[in-house]
C-alpha cells in the first residue's frame, strides 16, 4: 500500500519535470485567454498597454481587452496644438478599438482647453461600456453633458473637477457609492421658480465637494440613507452661491465644513459622530444671517466637535448659542479662535463633555471659565492646551481648573 503511493508520487514528479522541460523557453503568457491578458495589461498605464502591440502578431490587439483606462495630455509633444491633436487622436483610437464588454475605471486629465464635444463623446462611449469608476479632471469650466452621466446606473464612483454641468430636477444613480466634486458649476434645467434639485443615491457612502457653485439653484435635497462621510469646503477668498442643502441620512459618521457663510446645511434626524467646522465671514453677512447659519450648522449634535471661527464672525456667533439645542452627545471638544463668550456658550451647552482642547489663550478666558457650572467639572476628564500649554497663561488656566476640580476656592 505504501509502496504504491510512493510510486504514484514518483510518477507525478516525473510528469511535472517533463512538462517543465517541454515548456522551457515558451511564451506562456501569450497562451492565456485574451480577456485574462487584458486584465493584466490594465495594471499598466494605458499608453504602455497600447505599446505592447509591437511585441508580436499575437499581441497586436490584446491591449483592446483592457478594463482600466487612464488618459493624461501631459507629455504629448512640445507644441501646444500638436500635443492636443495627438492626444485627441490617441484617445479616439483607443476607445473606438476596445473589445472589452465593460470598463472598470476611466480617468481623463486635461491640462489644456479642448472642445467639449470631445469630452462628451468619450464619456458617452465609456458609459455605454458600463463604466464603474469615472474620473474627469478638466480646465476652464468646460460644459459637460449630464445626460449620459444620469443614465449610467453602473457608476459606483464619480469624480469631476473644473467643469460645468446642468442637472434635471431629479437625479437617481442606484450604484453610486462615492461622489467627489471639485470646483464644479452646477445649474438646474428646471424652468419653474422652485429650482430644487433632488438627488437620490441609495448606496452613496462618501460625499465630497470643494469650491462648487450652485448657479440659480435654491435648494438641494440629498436622499442618501447609507451616507457616512460628508465634506463641504470653500476657498475663503472665492465667491460662492447660497442654497439650502438638506441631507436625509441616518448613518453619517463624519462631517467636515470649511468656508464662509454660504450654503445652509441641514441634517434630518441624526447625530453625527465627528464634526470638523471652520468658519469665515468673507461675504460680510449680517449678524442675523450668521446666527441662523451657525444655529442650523451646529444642530447636528456631534459626539466629537472641532470648531474654528475666523475673522469678525466670532463676535456674532455668541448670539447663536442661545437657540442651539444642548450637545447631549458631545464628549470631545476642540476650539480655535472662538472668543470668551463663545467658549462659555458652548460649554454651557455641553453637559456630558469629557475632553476639552483649547488651541490658544485669549483675554478674559479665566473670567469665562469662572462661570462654568460645576456639573461640567464633574464630567470633564481631559483638559489640553495646544499652543500656550507651557506659558504662564496656560499654567494659569490649568491652575484654575485644578482648584475648581479639587474644591479649593480663592480667598
Confidence check: pLDDT of 286 > 70: no
The domain limits of the chain are 32-162, 168-270, 297-411
Q: Which of 50-64, 162-176, 196-210, 233-247 has the weakest average pLDDT?
A: 233-247
C-alpha cell at 146: 449630464
Predicted structure pTM score: 0.82
Q: What is the mean pLDDT of residues 345-360?
A: 80
Q: Which of 8-22, 107-121, 257-271 has the weakest average pLDDT?
A: 8-22
Q: Which of 109-123, 177-191, 223-237, 394-408 has the weakest average pLDDT?
A: 394-408
pLDDT of residue 410: 45
Give bridge partners of residue 105 from the DSSP assignment: 68, 133
Confidence check: pLDDT of 331 > 80: yes
C-alpha cell at 110: 486635461
Residues 73-130 pLDDT 10s: 887 655 677 888 889 999 999 999 999 888 999 999 998 888 899 999 999 999 999 9
Q: Which of 153-157, 223-227, 344-348 has the weakest average pLDDT?
A: 344-348
Let me know: does 167 contact 137? Beta carbons within 8 Å: no
In sequence order, the 6+-apart residues with CB closer than 8 A to the CB of 113 are 139, 140, 142
Rounded to an integer, what distance in angstroms lies between the CA atom of residue 165 and that of residue 120? 11
Higher pLDDT, 359 or 262: 359
Rounded to an integer, what distance in angstroms lies between the CA atom of residue 116 and that of residue 114? 6
Residues 388-410 pLDDT 10s: 545 555 666 666 666 665 654 44
Amino acid at each position: 500500500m505504501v509502496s504504491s503511493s510512493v510510486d504514484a508520487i514518483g510518477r507525478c514528479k516525473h510528469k511535472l519535470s517533463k512538462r517543465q522541460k517541454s515548456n522551457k523557453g515558451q511564451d506562456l503568457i501569450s497562451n492565456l485567454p485574451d480577456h485574462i491578458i487584458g486584465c493584466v495589461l490594465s495594471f499598466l498605464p494605458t499608453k504602455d498597454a497600447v505599446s505592447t502591440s509591437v511585441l508580436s502578431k499575437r499581441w497586436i490587439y490584446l491591449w483592446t481587452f483592457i478594463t482600466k483606462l487612464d488618459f493624461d495630455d501631459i507629455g504629448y509633444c512640445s507644441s501646444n496644438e500638436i500635443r492636443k491633436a495627438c492626444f485627441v487622436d490617441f484617445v479616439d483610437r483607443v476607445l473606438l478599438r476596445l473589445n472589452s464588454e465593460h470598463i472598470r475605471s476611466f480617468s481623463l486629465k486635461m491640462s489644456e482647453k479642448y472642445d467639449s464635444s470631445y469630452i462628451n463623446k468619450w464619456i458617452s462611449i465609456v458609459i455605454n461600456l458600463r463604466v464603474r469608476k469615472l474620473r474627469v479632471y478638466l480646465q476652464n469650466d468646460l460644459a459637460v453633458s449630464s445626460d449620459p452621466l444620469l443614465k449610467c446606473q453602473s457608476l459606483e464612483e464619480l469624480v469631476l473637477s473644473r467643469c460645468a454641468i446642468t442637472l434635471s430636477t431629479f437625479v437617481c444613480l442606484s450604484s453610486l457609492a462615492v461622489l467627489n466634486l471639485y470646483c464644479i458649476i452646477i445649474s438646474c434645467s428646471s424652468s419653474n421658480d422652485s429650482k430644487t434639485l433632488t438627488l437620490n443615491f441609495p448606496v452613496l457612502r462618501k460625499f465630497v465637494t470643494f469650491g462648487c457653485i450652485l448657479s440659480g439653484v435654491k435648494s438641494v435635497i440629498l436622499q442618501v440613507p447609507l451616507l457616512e462621510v460628508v465634506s463641504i469646503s470653500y476657498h475663503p477668498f472665492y465667491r460662492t452661491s447660497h442654497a439650502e442643502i438638506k441631507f436625509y441620512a441616518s448613518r453619517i459618521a463624519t462631517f467636515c465644513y470649511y468656508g464662509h457663510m454660504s450654503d445652509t446645511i441641514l441634517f434630518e434626524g441624526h447625530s453625527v459622530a465627528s464634526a470638523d467646522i471652520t468658519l469665515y465671514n468673507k461675504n460680510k453677512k449680517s449678524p442675523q444671517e450668521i446666527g441662523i447659519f451657525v444655529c442650523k450648522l451646529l444642530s447636528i449634535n456631534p459626539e466629537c466637535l472641532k470648531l474654528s471661527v475666523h475673522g469678525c464672525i466670532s463676535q456674532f456667533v455668541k448670539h447663536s448659542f442661545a437657540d442651539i439645542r444642548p450637545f447631549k452627545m458631545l464628549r470631545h471638544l476642540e476650539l480655535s479662535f472662538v472668543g470668551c463668550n463663545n467658549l462659555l456658550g458652548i460649554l454651557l451647552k455641553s453637559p456630558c463633555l469629557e475632553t476639552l482642547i483649547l488651541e490658544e489663550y485669549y483675554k478674559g478666558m479665566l473670567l469665562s471659565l469662572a462661570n462654568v457650572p460645576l456639573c461640567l467639572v464633574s464630567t470633564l476628564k481631559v483638559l489640553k492646551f495646544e499652543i500656550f500649554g507651557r506659558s504662564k497663561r496656560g499654567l494659569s488656566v490649568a491652575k484654575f481648573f485644578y482648584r475648581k476640580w479639587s474644591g479649593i476656592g480663592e480667598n
